[in-house]
Amino acid sequence: MTLVHSHLLGACCAVLTLGQVASATTRPAAKHVVDGDRTTLGLRATPGASVIVTFSDRPTAAQAAARLTGLGAVRALVPQIGVWQLTPSNAADVAVAAARRSKVLRVEWSLERRQATLPARRPPIIALAPISVPAPTDPLVANQWSLQTGRWTPSLTGRPERPRIAILDTGLDTSTPDWATPGVSAYGWDVVRRVALTGDSGAEGHGTHVAGIAAAPANGVGVVGVAPASTDPAMARARVIPVKITFRDSNGFDVSTDATQMAGIVYAVNHGAKVINISSGGPGYRHAFQDTVNWAYKRGALVVASVGNDGHGANDVNYPAGYDHVVGVAASCDGSVDGVDCLTARGRATFSNFNFSVDVLAPGVRILSTLPRRVIDSSAPAGYGYLDGTSMAAPYVTGTAALVYASHPNASPDQVLRVIETTSDRAVAGVGRTSKLGWGELNPARAVNATAPRNDLTEPNDDVNWLQKRFDIALTRTRRIVTLTARADYNDDHLDVYALPLAKGRRVRVTLAAKGSRLAAFAYDGKGRIAPELMTDAQFERRIRGLTKRTTPGANAFTFTARTTGRHFIQVVAGAGGTAGEYTLRVERLN
């Protein structure tokens, strides 16, 4: 970002679904369609569900328990941002009751999330012909078509030590051949039972398979991951952190919930993970989860998630892939065509969801990886097997993100995400992003060797609660104009908020300009959160001070006068269908 008059300010992107903005009373539509909390709070999501409570402050354990006394067991979830979990003792109306308690900002049911592996395995696949691979020497590498396309090479792993990768899944079986070497995994934890991890309890060994795709060690055994876990004691960080977030439901399926995923993210970040893989999801946006993603993002961690396998059906936006600052991954095919899942060689697998959550494609069909020995796949040796799904595509991106971190010391999650997207096929070809293909198929070699874009110091700045005062836009008699540039992308970061301290009566002109994006700017009074999902129509009407009359491309401006002394806020919003790119925000003091 660039600033005039040496006022240091980082900027970011902002994005929302919006059409033509007609008047100062037009409220921007929210990107996410969410349940009306007032009508659904009393409804239980699933048997045994818990409630996610977000406070307006950050209470201690004793304070949280006191505020929710009599409603059930209270447990810290993301206390760093005031988010706690309430397991109700009487579920009938606990959510409504909790919403009425002191300093409760929001109450949401913790929804179940399912893994994104296709339920039926394919028949045995003929192994690819052996090829000469100088390193690694793992004997099954030749069967890993995703590593034989020229996009990944062993040399990509020769950068400085990569950061830790966390796999939030069913666990990791460290007795299977590839993972039996001591030291390749660390800090294993079961967030459901709150005990040290003891293996992979998943019916199909989902977590072990996902971990192998991302980071199976190059130890001369079996397969190798995109970013191999290291057995070298001097490379202690280059390990996998397996975090079990699942439990078996009444139908025998391995499922996770918003609460277990959020707890897993916190555990992973607190134990040094820079890339967090979640190969599961489901419909239903949760504000507290987005806040958890933002919290992790601000601490240098990037979440990668599968977009889901409902491309033949409902094609819902699945979360966490649909959250801002999360890399949503769809599945691509190998070189074969089967007329069902793979209609074109190397194209998008037809089972992959296609909507705004798709950022990139990665190999997700006929993927060979590690499995617990108890899970038998007749087409592979014991301890290995083939699975299909966007669950398999996500860890390919996770491993690549770790390698990008390694090749770009001190890179932020925003930089890593943008490198991954801008080096994918469609972006490099100059073709726009689509819902079906995102930015195209991931290219690890191109991403690892690319130049990272400039950093955005304020990311995430999606709402008022994430803003730091040192980045406020300060206008004075001698510094009457501040100009900043930032990037907008509806799919990745749909809101940008900037704080503007003003004295009562101060008049300001705000100008927003962009070449190819559909953007609008809004100015608001006072305190409190301003994300559209959290504002009622009455709050919007009361707080809005001004907005651009139409969207960019081009330059649009408005003026407003501060009614009170204090921080005011400018929100930049980008609309669906626009081309991602830089915008310029110019704020000028008029009196």
- Where in the sequence numbering do the catalytic residues fall? 169, 206, 391
Which pair of tokens denotes residue 342?
A: 């793979």
Q: How far apart are CA 253 and CA 247, in angstroms?
A: 8
Q: Are 459 and 414 in contact (CB under 8 A)?
A: yes
Q: What is the CA radius of gyration of the chain?
A: 24
Residue 567 phi, psi dihedral angles, 5° rounding: -75, 130
> What is the phi-psi region of residue 337: left when phi exceeds 0, alpha when psi lies from -120 to 50, beta otherwise?
beta
Which pair of tokens denotes residue 502?
A: 């003003």
Single out the residue of 158, 416, 154 nearest to residue 275, CA to CA.
416
8-state DSSP, 171: B
Cis peptide before 553 (omega within 30 of 0): yes
Q: What is the three-class DSSP state of 97?
A: helix
Which pair of tokens denotes residue 363?
A: 């190999």
**Cross-strand bridge partners of residue 488:** 581
Q: Are 187 and 241 in contact (CB under 8 A)?
A: yes
Q: How far apart are CA 568 and CA 589, in angstroms?
A: 13
Which pair of tokens denotes residue 578?
A: 């626009």
Q: Pairing state of beta strands 280-281 and 273-278?
A: unpaired
Q: How far apart are CA 223 and CA 369, in angstroms?
A: 6
Q: Are 475 and 483 in contact (CB under 8 A)?
A: no
Q: How far is CA 16 from CA 35, 532, 546, in A?
A: 17, 9, 17
Q: Which residues 6+ apart lie within 8 Å of 213 measured at CB?
A: 146, 225, 226, 367, 369, 392, 395, 396, 399
Q: How far apart are CA 339 and CA 248, in angstroms?
A: 34
Q: What is the three-class DSSP state of 539?
A: helix
Q: Where are the beta strands (DSSP E) in 184-233?
A: 189-190, 195-196
Which pair of tokens denotes residue 353?
A: 């969801």
Residue 86, H or E segment: strand 83-88
Neighbours of 194 (CB within 10 A): 9
Q: Pairing state of beta strands 302-306 and 326-332?
A: parallel
Q: How far apart are CA 91 and CA 100, in angstroms?
A: 15
Q: Which residues 6+ apart lie within 8 Å of 584 measured at CB?
A: 483, 484, 485, 511, 512, 513, 514
Q: How far is CA 285 from CA 34, 218, 324, 491, in A?
A: 6, 38, 11, 14
Alpha helices in 299-428 (DSSP H): 390-407, 413-422, 425-428
Q: How far is CA 516 from CA 360, 421, 435, 519, 566, in A?
A: 21, 18, 18, 9, 34
Q: How far apart are CA 277 and CA 524, in angstroms?
A: 37
